Amino acid sequence: MNAPGWILVILQTGLVVLAAPLYAGWIKRVKALLQNRTPPPYLQPYRDLRKLFAKEIVLAETTSAIFRIAPYIVLGAAVLAMSVVPLIALDLPVTAVADAVVLVGLLALGRFFLALAGLDAGTVFGGMGASREMMVASLAEPAMLMVIFTLAMVASSTNLSTVIMHTLITPLALRPSVIFALIALVMVAIAETGRIPVDNPATHLELTMIHEAMILEYSGRHLAMMELAAQLKLLLYSVLIVNLFFPWGMALTQAPASVEIAMAAIFAKLAILGTLLAIGETAVAKMRVFRVPTFLAIAFTVALVGMLSFIILEAG
Amino acid sequence: MNALLLTLAAPVVGAILLALLPGVRVGALLNIVFCAAGFVASLGLASGVLSTGPVGGAEFYVDAFNVYLIVLTAFVGLTTAIFSRSYMGHEVGSGRVTTGRMRLYHSSFQGFLLTMLLGLSTNNLGILWVSLEGATLATVLLVSLYRTPESIEAAWKYFVLCGVGIAQTLFGTVLVYLAAAQVVPDTEPALHWTVLLQHADKLDPGVMRIAFVFLLVGYGTKVGLVPLHNWLPDAHSEGPTPMSAVLSGLLLNVALYAIVRVKMLTEGALGAAGGGAGEITGKLMMGFGLISFIVAGLFLHRQRDIKRLYSYSSIEHMGLMTFAFGLGGPLATFGALLHMTVHSLTKSAIFVTVGHASQIAATQLMENIRGLIRTQPAVGWGLLVGTLAIAGFPPFGVFISEFLLLTATMKSAPWLALPLLTGLAVAFAGLFRHLQPMVFGDRPEGQAPVKASLMPVLIHLLMVLWLGLSIPLVLARWFDQATILIAGTGLL
Amino acid sequence: MQQYSQLPLIEQAILTLAAMILASSLALLAQSRVVATIRLFAWQGVLLAVITALVALDIGDAQLLISALLTLSLKALFIPWLLVRQARLLNILKDSDASIRPGLILLMGGALVVFCYSVVQPIEVFAASVTRNAVALSLAVVMLSMLMLITRRKAVTQVVAFMALENGLFFAAVTTTQGMPLVVELGVAFDVMVAAVIFGVFFFQIRDSIGSLDIDELVRLSESGE
């Protein structure tokens, strides 16, 4: 029983759950600064969650048990997925479970129940949001899988830790497959987490919503859980991008010194990625919904080019 | 070498000079002068090659196969230039073309002759590509000379389809270079045909096979093989008639020449020098040739425009020639070489008379052309005799070449003789069904004869008759030398 | 077989640029705005010139370097400038030539790449090791340009597809044989330039006679009507 390892795992999971609102808040802050507004305080997302947890739940009469269970499942899936992704250290007891396909499966589980919740209330907007979310997902998942397969071919395994280890060990090489996989993953991440240009997280116009439409009927702690799950998903994709493609700084052992370096490294990398995301969101306008399939087809093609580059150019 | 340089220099100087000079009549006269100079130089070249053997050896190479094509090109160019003078004079007079565009016309005419002569005389496969692409570019703007929507559409199709075809040829040429680079020590002469033929048996068969397919499809587009022929009826019918004459009579020949040169290389690489219907090269050429022949013969019946009718006839004959070259062997090759000559002469003569016929009737639609033999007997008779010649009537030369081809087919592939005969009959029926009312029908009101220079027609048809009755020994020996080059053994 | 990470940096860069050229071909397929198409074509020319220069540096061939400069000036600067000028004169610069299903066309493009990879297997053996793997990509660029030529409706974008086809052929020449003899390269470049100029003249002819630059309007000559 690898006690230090499990402690590290619990530490890591707790850290992510705590950090997710902070990360989302950081992105909002940078956007506000770019738009010349006064940003909210750093702890504002926590205050919002605390407020929501304290509020009363209002349930629509047309909802079923699924409506009440869904937030728990969605949040649970997000936390589980996040605990599986290598964040700080590579040599953890959960690394054997850190398979990319498992990750996609957990995300799909969360998405499934989120869509069900949207449909459950029987409102128009909920149904619209659910159908749009499923359309995006049906196109984004193949692209995501293509990215994963490309990386898996490079590292000869779908296990995320093995992939990261491979990047850390082999000498630095200019691989076209990895470059294209990065571009494709960024596009897929934007689509899956519902950021501009696919979906505006700060919109109040129901007809432009995808994610927000599905959680429109939620209140109180349910809403808090859904919000936290969305923030976790954003953090998850960001960690994937940062750690799969720029893993330097991660702890290869469980020594406290390397763990501390790794924590500092991930903190810095996420801060930079958050800033870049905020700049991107400010610079680009939201696409019309019928253009989203083309956007995702481009992401898929980029991922496909990455995989083809590997097979044709790199595998000799 | 001097004769070769003179042959090529004449059109160069002509193109530049005619681009600068205004004046239609001076331009037309100079056009004829430069063509004549080129023709005389080519005769000098031919006598040199026939007496002393191949000329050149580095960038240029003239042997028995292409020297007669060079002479033929220069000759038909000259006679077409003579025809063009009176014909285009009439067109300018009737307002279909402006004098400004005639400058473009004359200098492009010379430029086109230059590209064809260059393609025929070069030893470098890459330059062959460049000159065939140049031939397309030189004539594209001429197809749309009349600026009607149909002619612009024809020119666009011509440009794009031939461009795509010739792009595939470039890929094939690159592949040939790839195969050659493995075998030839020096990179500079690696695209020289003579060097490649020397090392042909060492070239990799796999690469050469793929290269041949690309080259056949690419150059085949320019020959007009079905199903890559879509541009041909449009381009040949919408441009001015002298353009149709040289396109049908000359350019198709040059493209076929390119295919045959490449075929010789590929067969050397595949280990079957001398040609044979057994190899994939022969089979592909026979297949494409036969399909073109049959399809074109069938399409002949549906035509309503007179120039389209005869362009389909060109496709049909080019298909026949491709089939013959694919069949291989001395008999078929001799027949194909003879056919190239007589088809060129006859087709250009036909287009001359067709041009005058359409001027008489002021339309190209066959249902509106009637009674030519009563309006202007020379034109009527010329069209009738020309069509008789091209349909393969004895004693014209086309009959001889088709007969040789049929004999060769019966020897090597007897079951193909029946489709050939059927195709010939179908084409004959198609041509005459349209021809009969045009030549012999009732003469419509107000149709007047036009100023026509029918000397080219007379000369061409007499030559074809002569070749049919008795080929002069000089020419026979000439063709035989070429046959030996291509097929390995001669006929005589 | 050498591991990819052990190849020298210049060879890795060559292969990465080859992948980027393929990506630019696919992007040309998907792009519908005329301005963006011409710009993408110019970038493809730049990538091609850079990859040619790198190959020239790697094998030490001065002639190839001249070809690279020729490509840069002709395909990345002159021809795009000519096309933009013509498009601006014809007022079609801001137009878009939308295809019906860009996603489907992109998928077909992907399938074409796989097909080309299988076709060139017997040829690849002979190419120099530096560019051996890129031979398949060069044929794919040619095929993708042909696909673009078929799926486009406006004359300008068809011309860009045609020029991209020539790009692909030049790329094929560079990857299989490290360039052709200089005299042939010059001849090909000259032909391409003349073709571009003639296309420019053509646009005006088409527009003046038919009234639009929509190739769908060119249906007067067809066998069924005859």
Asked if residue B462 lies in contact with residue B346, where contact means CB atoms within 8 angstroms, the answer is no
The type of residue at A160 is L
Q: How far apart are CA B21 and CA B123, in angstroms?
A: 33
- Residue C29 located in a structural domain: yes
Q: Say how many residues make up chain C.
A: 226
ipTM of the complex: 0.88
- Judge: B149–C223 Cβ closer than 8 Å, yes or no: no
Per-residue confidence (pLDDT) for residue B293, from 0 to 100: 92
The answer to whether B126 contacts C184, with C-beta atoms less than 8 Å apart, is yes
CB contact under 8 A, B164 and C177: no
Which residues in chain A have Cβ-Cβ distances shorter than 8 Å to C116?
A: none
Of B153, B167, B177, the CB nearest to C221: B153
Q: How many CB atoms lie within 10 A of CB A171?
A: 7
Cα gap A25→B142, rounded to integer Å:
69
Taking the Cβ of residue B475 and every Cβ of chain C, the question of whether any pair is shorter than 8 Å is answered with no
Within chain A, which residues score under 50 in pLDDT? Answer: none
Residues C221, B148: C-beta atoms closer than 8 Å: no
A177/chain C closest Cα distance in angstroms = 8
Q: How many contacts (CB atoms, under 8 Å) link B and C?
A: 136
What letter would DSSP give residue C179? S
C-alpha neighbours within 13 Å on the C-beta side of residue A285? 4
Domain range list for chain A: 3-314
Q: Is C212 on the interface with B (CB under 8 A)?
A: no
Contact C183 B127 (CB under 8 A): yes
C81 touches chain B (CB under 8 A): no
Written as one letter, the residue type at B92 is V
Whether residue C127 lies within 8 A of chain B, CB to CB, comes out as yes
Half-sphere CA count of C86, side-chain side, radius 13 A: 25
Give the distance from CA B151 to its chain's centroid.
Answer: 21
Structure tokens at B350: 């036909």
Interface of C with A in 115-174 (CB under 8 A): 117, 133-134, 136-137
Q: Which residues pair with B305 in a beta bridge?
A: B365
Q: Distance, in angstroms, between C192 CA and closest chain A CA?
A: 29
C202 vs B156, B170, B177: nearest CB: B156
- Do residue C180 and residue B174 have CB atoms under 8 angstroms apart? yes
pLDDT in tens, chain B (492 residues): 678 888 888 888 888 888 888 778 888 888 888 889 889 988 888 888 878 877 776 788 888 888 889 999 999 999 999 888 888 888 888 877 888 788 888 888 999 999 999 999 988 888 899 999 999 888 888 888 888 888 888 888 888 888 889 889 998 998 888 888 888 877 777 888 888 888 888 888 888 888 899 999 999 999 989 888 888 988 888 888 898 889 888 999 999 999 999 988 888 888 755 445 557 888 889 999 999 999 999 998 888 888 999 999 999 999 999 999 988 888 899 999 999 999 999 999 999 889 888 888 888 888 888 888 888 888 888 899 999 999 888 888 899 899 999 999 998 888 888 999 999 999 999 998 888 888 888 877 777 777 777 888 888 888 888 888 888 888 888 888 888 888 877 776
Give the closest of B148, B207, B299 to C123, CB-based. Answer: B207
Task: Residue C115: name the closest of C85, C147, C86 by CA.
Answer: C147
In a domain, C225, yes or no: no
Of C169, C184, C210, Cβ closest to residue B127: C184
8 Å CB contact of C18 and A176: yes
**What pLDDT is stored for residue A175 in this prediction?**
84
Query: What is the number of structural domains in chain C?
Result: 1
CA distance C35 to chain B (A): 21
When pLDDT is averaged across residues C163-188 and rounded to a whole number, the result is: 85
| Helix axis angle, B149-183 to C134-151, nearest 10° | 170
- Examine residue C220 and state whether it is found in any structural domain, yes or no: no
* pLDDT for the residue C199: 85
Question: How far, in Å, CA of C120 to CA of C136, rounded?
Answer: 6
Please check whether residue B187 touches C, CB under 8 A: yes
Is residue A198 helix, strand or coil? Answer: coil
Min Cα distance C6 → chain B (Å) is 27
Probe site for chain A from C21, C100, C106 (most A CB atoms < 10 A): C106
Which residues constitute the domain of residue C105?
4-212
pLDDT at B274: 47
Contact B207 C158 (CB under 8 A): no
Q: Is C194 at the interface with chain B, CB within 8 A?
A: yes
pLDDT tens readout for residues A291-313: 888 889 889 989 998 988 888 88
Question: Tell me, what's the pLDDT at B57?
Answer: 66
pTM, 2 dp: 0.84
Looking at the complex, report in whole angstroms how far the Cα of residue C125 sits from the nearest Cα belonging to chain B. 10
